[in-house]
Structures are given as structure tokens and as C-alpha cells.
Chain A
Amino acid sequence: MKYVSAVKPPRSAYLHIPFCHRRCFYCDFPVVPIGDFARGDRGTGSSSIKDYLSLLHKEISISPNGPPLATVYIGGGTPSLLTPEQVASLLKHLREHFGIQIGAEITLEMDPASFDDDQLERFLEVGINRVSLGCQSFRNEVLDALGRRHRRSDSLQACQWLRKAFSTGLLETWSIDLIQNLPGQDLDSWRKELSEAIETEAPHVSIYDLSIEPGTVFEWRRKRGELNLPEHDLAAEAMALTSEMLHEVGISRYELSSYAMPGHASRHNRVYWQGCGWWAFGLGSTSSPWGERFTRPRTRAGYRDWLVKQDQMCIEPSLLGLNPTRFPLDELLIIGLRCREGVNLEKLAQNWGWDTNQRKKNISALYFQLKNSFDKGWVERSGNRIKLTEPDGMMLSNQVLVEILLWWDSLPNDAVV
């Protein structure tokens, strides 16, 4: 039995701002490059931005209502290309449409060199209380190799402004992003990157492994043999080092790619990992307000067309929540195991709707499937809860997740549909 009678309505919203100065060499996100000198209010690109924002407002206004939001995340792209007024207007719209709870986490992704301290202050004034800063690296040659526009000094300057805002209480929390496993990276250079990240005093660090995606400059370079990517053992050591160095200064891993000081974990991201629903607005964005995921067209023209049709004919009825579903159990396990605390099997299985017998049988089949993972020390169990160990289990998480998929595949049809 797949359908559970009621799914709680979403309390989170994601807004996608696709504009960027340039497209970075590793990037395959739905972005619209508009040039190095573009701004949200005037000059190059501003009319594109204004035009897009009107579509975004339109999408919010045709969305069904829901309870007040607990988290809002404005991502991109480079949302810091918008003016504080433009951000304010989006927040105002969300507030009118859904309401925004007192104490809600409102994140803005910002890129170094796309704002100054004055702008930061105004972003905070209009309601932003968490900033995620896309540093990616602190070395100029690496930034060049990534196709980034900003310099090391821009990152350090931006961090200084954020630190100051944080210490004066204007900013509740902030985070920086780094990319691991870059071409040419060795253990020493990575150690330096981590030290610099620690020196910024950011209470939250997101670290993503470089992945080479189809259609990117990096893919093209790899095909030509120009990318000297760190080999397997080095990549493993780098990840272990990350975990160790950050842990030493009290920034611990609470999710596969996220590290934070106590109390600074991202509440918005947690929504994803726990299988709760969320709204999303904007081209290329994926929403799942009622269990079913839907990804919007990735181009502006496609998005505009879709929006017109959605408004007139409601071509994507899943957004209305007339027939709420839950994520399949295997997915809930896959995403749930990304988090430090793991998942409560018993509870997940109860919600899925198996009867007691089925539950017992299927869960013990899962334990059997995971036997090797337990033996290897990648998975730990306490009571009904299982979790990946840190760092071994996290580092080899796919080996565990594949077993979960194989378990799911082996279940009788009526158990998984």
C-alpha cells in the first residue's frame, strides 16, 4: 500500500535565480550567464532579470496556498545579482501568499565579488538571516581553472563582512562552499584550503566533490585528457582529512557534504533529507510539495510556456496536492542515511503501511542484505535506528545504498507499490 492518507503540507520554499555572470567550467545547473558587469537594477541583463522576476512572481501567485513557511532558500545561479529591493519583493510575496513564520531560516546564496558590505546590510534588512557564500576555493589559480569570476581577495573580503554581520547579530548564521577533488589538488593544497576555511570562522561549511557532468567544459577537457583529477586513494585521504580537520575545531559532519558547529546546521537542507515536502519556484527547479517530484523546464522560453499552460490548464496537477503520496521507502532510506543520525527503520516502515508481519519480514531481509556493511563497520544500529559511520560509512555510502536498492528490488511487488 503506497498511499498514505495525509502528507503534511510543505513548510519550505526554494526560489531559483538562474542568472550568473558566467557559467563556471564544472557547472551543469540551469543558469543563464549574463556577463561580468550585469546587475539586477540597471544596465546589461537587468531587463532579463526583471522579466524573469515577473515570471517568478507569477508562479508564486498561481501556486496553491499553504501554512506559513519555516524555511526559505533563494539559490541559483547567483541570487546576489538581484538588488535587495528585488529580494524584498519576492519575500513580501511569499509572506502574503503563505506567510513566513517568526524565526524562519531565510537563506540567500551569494557569490564573492557580486556584492559589497552596504548591499549585504540591505539584504539583511529585508529579511535574509542566513548567507551561503560560494567561495569554492581560496586559491587564484584554482579559481581560474574553475572559470570563476572572483578572486581569493574577494572571498576573504566577503567573509570579513559576513563575520562582522554575524558577530553583531545582524546575521544569524552563514556558510561557505568548497569544492574538493579538483584537478591538480594534492593533500597539502587541500589542507591549506581547509585551514583557510577554518580561519574564516564560518560556522557551517559545505564541501562537494567535483563531479564531471555531461555538457560542461570540464567534461570536454577530461575527454581531451587535460584534467589531472586526484586518483582514488588521494580522494579518499582528502575526504578523511576534511572530516578530521573540521571536527577538531568543532565543525562536525551532520550530513554527507555538510559540516557545522552545533546549532548551525541548515534547516532547509534537512527538509530534503527527511523526506518532507517543499515548494519550489523558478526555471529548472524541482519541487515536491506533496510527495511527487516535479522539475520545471530548464530554459526561460520553456519555463514561460509551462507557466502559461499551468496557469490556464493546470498541466501539472501534482502541484495541487489533491492526491498526496509519500516518497518510496527506498528513497527515504537513501536520503535519510545522508544524515548523521541515520533513519528509524521501524518508524519509516510503519508509515509505509506494511502490516506487522510484512514489516518484520522485510526489515529482517534488509538487515540480512546489509550484513556485510555491518561487518565492515560502515553501518551502525542502535535500537530501530541505523546510520552510516563517520568517516568510513560516509566515505563508502554508495556501497551501502546499492545494497538497499538491491533489497528493495528483491521485495515482492505488493510490498513496494
Chain B
Amino acid sequence: MTDAPVSRLRNFCIIAHIDHGKSTLADRLLQETGTVAGRDMQEQFLDNMELERERGITIKLQAARMNYTAQDGETYVLNLIDTPGHVDFSYEVSRSLQACEGALLVVDASQGVEAQTLANVYLALENDLEIIPVLNKIDLPGADPEKIKEEIEAIIGLDTSNAISCSAKTGLGIDEILQAVVDRIPPPADTINELTKALIFDSYYDPYRGVIVYFRVISGRISTKDKVLLMASQKSYELDEIGVMAPNQYKVDELHAGEVGYLAASIKAVSDARVGDTITLLNSPAKEPLPGYTEAKPMVFCGLFPTDADQYPDLREALDKLQLSDAALKFEPETSSAMGFAFRCGFLGLLHMEIVQERLEREYDLDLIVTAPSVIYKVNMIDNSMIMIDNPATLPDPQRRESIEEPYVKLEIYAPNDYNGTLMSLCQERRGDFIDMKYITTERVTLIYELPLAEVVTDFFDQMKSRTKGYASMEYHLIGYRANDLVRLDVLINSEKADPLTTIVHKDKAYAVGKGLVEKLKELIPRQQFKIPLQASIGSRIIASESISAMRKDVLAKCYGGDISRKKKLLKKQAKGKKRMKAMGKVEVPQEAFMAVLKLNQTN
């Protein structure tokens, strides 16, 4: 491993919108510097979770150390720190930016700047990073680099006169990028002789070695012989090993200021070594930790029910295991009178929720019923106490409460101006307060709204995408709580209250939602052996009702030439479907029904 002085170190990350080619560019850089041989190259090397590769997104951070011989003949060590590209993980992004001195801003040369890009660029600017604009996919016929450069200048105010045009796919411009990293990104400050501080920018759980921590040494040195102290968790560890990511882990004896590496110290759970925590030496600790550490707080909650009640202990075990590697995941047991035992889980956002759910089903082979996502409400009680509610079903009765407050976000949408009308009406429908509209170019606008988070965590994103043919992008952050006239809407299936379908809605929307909900349930719940009344209620008042008629005919009459294999296949499918339904009282309810509230705006 090349040992480089601080002056020949460069730490940088890539900022890009989903699909703008970040991972492909990263692959290309690894290949060009000979870090990964062409034959070992799997597509998108840094996205090493199966799920990430499938979805084309980065969930967990990765890092890679590359050696690059620049035009001056010297060999430089370049550390690429990959960042997750989704709003749910913006805290992790901010930590990984803090570990860098520069960033490549990758923009699709035909698509232009998107909301997510912008949010991350601002984060990078706040962190004083040197930004190198890169126009990717220059080989595509629709590429218009000059126009996109103008856009970058107009929106971000970055000088694009020395922006680099490249095609990560064909390899065009890659060497120029590497040279620019050396020339334009400053080396880390030479703080080797100061007290040791290192920033944790990522960690993951390895079942054999415990938590593997990725860190950037900000000052001083860390060697294998050291005992380290984690300043936020106040836990100390003896190091088992330290090393660099090249990009596979490679053990070294010592890392000094400016370097990026990993450590293993038999740490039991990632919650003991959280992103943003500061590593220092136990014997000569730093006076104060690096700034900016916070604990990621879940914003979105849902209930997870095992389809088969026997799987409840397995679900607990799986969640325990996932939590070892996912410090942001929170869960606690809950019970529903209609459906039995479950867990109430908290997530950073919708994507995080989907990922956890999918990992539980895939990696732990569990069949789950997931309820519609909810947010945390503040309930001010008559007796002046205040309680936080993450499960709509536990909202106290109206007589006992004074007011309800719900979380609000500031939402920014970027879209071609053709879609202003439809986007504004979407925000309006979702109880948004219009704040501002800015033209960023003659064709593109940014809309700024403040709206309840509860309205965003439903199908807002999908609606925005479908109304704008996918051209809009969005970004939001929490701005606080506001009191609103909210009510609890209950659903009764076969005259029994169905807790998991309870929602909290604005009073003005309650009738429409209640009516939509029972109609949707009528569509989603198959006919059963008896008639099933469906009702929506506020308190004891029924505001909407429907019913599902009893099934009267269920027969496969055609059976040709004695070949029953096809018939048996169909029956088996039916039997399997029956197993996958969750009994709610006497009624068997399919998984989709629990998400009915998210589907109210879809026909069919």
C-alpha cells in the first residue's frame, strides 16, 4: 500500500441524482486507476448490497482508496467516499461530506440539476468542499452540455468554465477527472501532530468480526496498538485491526491525519459506533468531539405483523439482528385486538421502511403484513400533559385531548414549468401552504411549500412522478410541529374495529377519506363465505359504509382430458393465497388492503 504524505492525499465524494451515473462513474475511476482489475469488475462495484444493485441506489456507504500517478509524475492516494443518494439518508450524506475536501458534482448532460443534487450541493458548500462540476452521459444524443452548464451556474452559482465533460459509460474524460481531483481539491490539513480525532462516516455489522467502522482521521494518528474511545457513546475498545479499503479491506498498522480507513474492535452493534461519532485515543483523548453529531431519529412509523402468528418470535429475532447493522431502525412490541402481536417500527423515511421490509422478507424469509405509514403526533391533553403518538390507533379520545400537532416539512420541488399547475394542485390537495415559486431557468421552476409530513409519506412521491412523467424531483426537511384540526378515523370490518387501518386525518378530509377507504377495501378484500359490512367511523359516528357480498360460486369446471395438473396448480395458488391472508377477526384480509389508505387516489 502506497504510503503518502498528507500533501499527496485527496479525499472526495460524488454528488449526483439517482440515475445520473454516480455508481458507473465510481466504477470507471476504480478501473482507470487499476484499483479493481477489469476482470473483477462487477457492475457498480460500490453498491455491494443485492438490494442496492437491484434498485440502482446506494443505501450503505462505501469507500475506496485508489493510487493515481498524476501528470507531475508523483503518485497520489485518492479516497473516494460514496454517498447514499436518498433524502432518507441525508444525515449520513452530511457526515460523509465532512470526511472530504472536495466533491465531484455529477449532472446528467441531458437531464440537468435535480432537487436531490441541489440539496447535497448545498450541504457540500456548507462543509467548504471544493466542487468540480462533471457533465456525465455526454455520449447520449440528447446531451446538451452548454445548456446544463448555464443551468448549474444559474441555480447553484458555480463557475462551470472548467467543468469536465465525460461519459462514464465509454470512459471519455475519466483521466481528466482524476487529474482535476489532484489539481483542484486541496490536500487535507496537516494535523498529524495534534490529538487524535477521527470521524465515523459509516459502519456495518459483520457477523464474524462485529461492527466494521469506516472513518476519516481528522487529526493525529491511529495505530493497531491503540485503545480507542468513542466520544458520544463513551465506550472504549481495543482494536482488532485497522486498514484501508482498496476497495477490499487491506490491513495496515497505522493511519494518520487525512487518511480514510476502517477498524474492527469487536463492537457488538452499530448503535455503539454511530455515524458522526468521534474516535479518539483512550490514553490521550481529544478535548472535544467533532461537531455535528446527532442521533438519527425515525420520522415514519408502521406496524409489522407476521402473516403467520407463529413467526412472531422469528420476526423479533430478525429485527434484533437488523438493528445490529441499522442504528436508525427502532421497534417495540404492540398488540392489536383484531390481529394479535406485532411490532411498531420507526424508520428514517419511506425508502428506509421499504428496504427494511424487503430485507426481512428476503433475508429472513418472513411473510409480513405492513400497515400504512404514520408520523409522530404531539397530543396536548386537557390536563396539560403532552404525549407523542406514533400509532394512530392509540390516539386518546377527543374528550381527553386539547389539541393535536403534526410534523410539517418544507418541501422543494424542481420541475419543468409545464407542470406547475398540476404540482400546485397536488400540494394543495395535500394541505400544503404555498411559500414561493422561483424560475431557475426559463423552463424550470422550483416550488416551495410547507405541508404536513403525513401527507408526504403517503403516495405523494409517486403522484408527483406520475403527474410530471417523472420529470420532477423533490427534497424536504422537517421544520417543526403545527396544531391542526385532526381526527381519528377508524375502520370496522365485520363490525370489529380494525386497528391497523386506523388513520389520523384532517377533519375536512375525513368524509372523503372514509368513503374512499371503505370503497377501496371492498375492492381489495375478496368475497368470503359470508357478507361483510365495512364501515368508517369517527368516534361512535359511522361516516361511510359498504359491504362485501358473500361468495356464491367458486368452481373450476373446465378440466380437459383428465389433465388436472393445471387445475391443481390454480388450487394450490388459492391455498397459498389463503395462507398469506391475515385473519382479522373472522375475515381474511390480503396484504394490499392494509395499504388501502395509500391507494385512495388510484383508480382500479
Cα A207 to Cα B432 with chains together (Å): 58
Cβ–Cβ contact A398 & B555, under 8 A: yes
* B528, closest chain A residue (CB): A399
Contact with A along B570-588 (1 / 0, CB 8 A): 0110110011000000000
Cα A376 to Cα B562 with chains together (Å): 29
The interface residues of chain B lying within 8 Å CB-to-CB of A271 are 562
Q: Is B556 an interface residue (CB 8 A)?
A: yes
The B538-594 residues at the A interface (CB cut-off 8 A) are 549, 551-565, 567-568, 571-572, 574-575, 578-579
B394 to chain A, nearest CB (A): 34
Cβ–Cβ contact B552 & A293, under 8 A: no
Contact of B552 among A331, A396, A406 (CB under 8 A): A396
Q: Is A185 an interface residue (CB 8 A)?
A: no
State the total of A-B contacts with C-beta under 8 angstroms.
96
The interface residues of chain B lying within 8 Å CB-to-CB of A344 are none
The interface residues of chain B lying within 8 Å CB-to-CB of A396 are 529, 551-555
Q: Is B330 an interface residue (CB 8 A)?
A: no
Contact with B along A240-257 (1 / 0, CB 8 A): 000000000000000011
The interface residues of chain A lying within 8 Å CB-to-CB of B558 are 208-209, 211, 257
Cβ–Cβ contact B575 & A402, under 8 A: yes
Cβ–Cβ contact B557 & A208, under 8 A: yes
Cβ–Cβ contact B529 & A331, under 8 A: no
Once A233-B549, A402-B575 are accepted as A-B contacts, the answer to whether A286 and B555 lie under 8 Å apart by CB is no
Cβ–Cβ contact B553 & A239, under 8 A: yes
A270 to chain B, nearest CB (A): 11
The interface residues of chain A lying within 8 Å CB-to-CB of B344 are none
Cβ–Cβ contact A286 & B562, under 8 A: yes
Contact of B568 among A75, A211, A334 (CB under 8 A): A334
The interface residues of chain A lying within 8 Å CB-to-CB of B564 are 272, 331, 334-335
Cα A145 to Cα B329 with chains together (Å): 58
Once A376-B529, A406-B578 are accepted as A-B contacts, the answer to whether A334 and B555 lie under 8 Å apart by CB is no
Contact of A334 among B549, B553, B571 (CB under 8 A): B571
The B230-256 residues at the A interface (CB cut-off 8 A) are none
The interface residues of chain B lying within 8 Å CB-to-CB of A295 are 563, 565
Q: Is B527 an interface residue (CB 8 A)?
A: yes
Cα A14 to Cα B529 with chains together (Å): 39
Cβ–Cβ contact B557 & A406, under 8 A: no
Cβ–Cβ contact A406 & B575, under 8 A: yes
Cα A372 to Cα B583 with chains together (Å): 15
Contact with B along A285-312 (1 / 0, CB 8 A): 1101000010100000000000000000
A2 to chain B, nearest CB (A): 17
Q: Is A226 an interface residue (CB 8 A)?
A: no
B494 to chain A, nearest CB (A): 16
Contact with B along A208-246 (1 / 0, CB 8 A): 110100000000000000000000110110010000000
The interface residues of chain B lying within 8 Å CB-to-CB of A405 are 571-572, 575
Contact with A along B525-542 (1 / 0, CB 8 A): 001010000000000000
Cα A161 to Cα B558 with chains together (Å): 28
Cβ–Cβ contact B554 & A399, under 8 A: yes
Cβ–Cβ contact B574 & A211, under 8 A: no
The interface residues of chain A lying within 8 Å CB-to-CB of B563 are 286, 293, 295
A29 to chain B, nearest CB (A): 7
Number of B residues near A (Cβ < 8 Å) is: 26
Cα A91 to Cα B163 with chains together (Å): 84
B159 to chain A, nearest CB (A): 54
Contact of A398 among B549, B552, B574 (CB under 8 A): B574
The interface residues of chain A lying within 8 Å CB-to-CB of B557 are 180, 207-209, 211, 256-257
Q: Is A394 an interface residue (CB 8 A)?
A: yes
Once A232-B527, A286-B562, A399-B529 are accepted as A-B contacts, the answer to whether A209 and B575 lie under 8 Å apart by CB is no
The interface residues of chain A lying within 8 Å CB-to-CB of B551 are 232, 396, 399
Cα A207 to Cα B564 with chains together (Å): 17
* A287, closest chain B residue (CB): B562
The interface residues of chain B lying within 8 Å CB-to-CB of A233 are 549, 552
Cα A75 to Cα B561 with chains together (Å): 9
Contact of B562 among A232, A288, A398 (CB under 8 A): A288
Cα A162 to Cα B322 with chains together (Å): 73
Cα A395 to Cα B565 with chains together (Å): 21
Q: Is A338 an interface residue (CB 8 A)?
A: yes
Cβ–Cβ contact B554 & A397, under 8 A: yes
Cα A331 to Cα B562 with chains together (Å): 11
Cα A280 to Cα B574 with chains together (Å): 30
Cβ–Cβ contact A29 & B560, under 8 A: yes
Counting chain A CB atoms within 10 Å of each CB, which of B563, B572, B579 scores highest? B563
The interface residues of chain B lying within 8 Å CB-to-CB of A335 are 559, 564
B236 to chain A, nearest CB (A): 52
Cβ–Cβ contact B571 & A401, under 8 A: yes
B569 to chain A, nearest CB (A): 11
Counting chain B CB atoms within 10 Å of each CB, which of A211, A295, A402 scores highest? A402
The interface residues of chain B lying within 8 Å CB-to-CB of A211 are 556-558
Cα A399 to Cα B567 with chains together (Å): 14
* A272, closest chain B residue (CB): B562
* A269, closest chain B residue (CB): B562
Q: Is A409 an interface residue (CB 8 A)?
A: yes
Cβ–Cβ contact A397 & B555, under 8 A: yes
Q: Is A278 an interface residue (CB 8 A)?
A: yes
Cα A401 to Cα B557 with chains together (Å): 13
Contact of A236 among B552, B561, B565, B574 (CB under 8 A): B552
Cβ–Cβ contact B579 & A331, under 8 A: no
Cβ–Cβ contact B574 & A402, under 8 A: yes
Counting chain A CB atoms within 10 Å of each CB, which of B557, B558, B572, B574 scores highest? B557
The interface residues of chain B lying within 8 Å CB-to-CB of A75 are 561
B31 to chain A, nearest CB (A): 44
Contact with A along B236-278 (1 / 0, CB 8 A): 0000000000000000000000000000000000000000000
Cβ–Cβ contact B565 & A293, under 8 A: yes
Cα A190 to Cα B449 with chains together (Å): 59
Contact with B along A375-417 (1 / 0, CB 8 A): 0100000000000000000111111011001100100000000
The interface residues of chain A lying within 8 Å CB-to-CB of B556 are 209, 211, 397-398
Counting chain B CB atoms within 10 Å of each CB, which of A236, A335, A398, A399 scores highest? A398
Cα A58 to Cα B567 with chains together (Å): 31
Once A233-B549, A396-B553 are accepted as A-B contacts, the answer to whether A14 and B575 lie under 8 Å apart by CB is no
Cβ–Cβ contact B578 & A236, under 8 A: no
Contact with B along A331-342 (1 / 0, CB 8 A): 100110010000
The interface residues of chain B lying within 8 Å CB-to-CB of A16 are 561
Cβ–Cβ contact A402 & B565, under 8 A: no
Cα A395 to Cα B551 with chains together (Å): 10
Q: Which 4 A-B pairs have the closest CB atoms?
A: A272-B562, A236-B552, A236-B553, A286-B563
Listed in ascending order, the chain A residues whose CB lies under 8 Å from chain B are: 14, 16, 29, 75, 180, 207-209, 211, 232-233, 235-236, 239, 256-257, 271-272, 278, 280, 285-286, 288, 293, 295, 331, 334-335, 338, 372, 376, 394-399, 401-402, 405-406, 409
Q: Jot down 13 A-B pairs with beta carbons below 8 A, ordered by A.
A: A209-B557, A257-B559, A278-B562, A286-B563, A334-B567, A334-B568, A372-B529, A395-B552, A396-B551, A396-B555, A398-B554, A398-B556, A409-B575
For the complex with contacts A14-B562, A397-B556, 9 further pairs of A-B residues with Cβ separation under 8 Å are: A16-B561, A29-B560, A209-B556, A257-B557, A257-B558, A293-B565, A331-B564, A395-B555, A398-B556
Listed in ascending order, the chain B residues whose CB lies under 8 Å from chain A are: 527, 529, 549, 551-565, 567-568, 571-572, 574-575, 578-579
